[in-house]
Amino acid sequence: MSDRSLRGMRLGSQSMESEAGVEPAPRQRVEYRTEDGEQVFVTFATEAEIPSVWVSKSGKEAVIVNGEKPENPNEKHQRTHWDMLMERRTTEELEEILEQRLQFYREQHAI
């Protein structure tokens, strides 16, 4: 056998590759702040899309510094009865229905 055998080396658990000559991707450090003033720093690659909201380790929502808190896209707008009605009917249709109902009630009270 050779004098340079790999005795004691655990196969697959350690890499023989070195990090010499490897350059990491360019990075940027982004600052976020919670409502109570807690600062959160997150490092992103320069080409990464930066989120405007980040959840800190304490579980609080932090907003990017010099940015606005966006509306939550996952949060649905609370539809009112009027909103749902306007999805089904036009204003002209509603005026016509109102006039019919008023006429009906006028006839009922005239008796």
39-71: pLDDT as tens digits? 999 999 999 888 888 998 888 888 888 755 556
Domains recognised in the chain with CATH numbers: 27-64 (2.20.28.270), 78-110 (no CATH)
Of the given ranges (1-10, 22-31, 35-44), which has the lowest mean pLDDT? Answer: 1-10
Q: Which amino acid is at 102?
A: L
Q: Which amino acid is at 51?
A: P
User: Is pLDDT of 88 > 80?
Assistant: yes
Give residue 32's pLDDT.
92
Short-list 15, 19, 13, 43, CA closest to 31 = 43
In this structure, are residues 31 and 41 in contact, taking their beta carbons and an 8 Å threshold?
Answer: yes
Percent residues over pLDDT 70 in the chain: 78
Single pTM value for the model: 0.45
Torsion angle, alpha carbons of 95, 100, 103, 107, to 10: -160
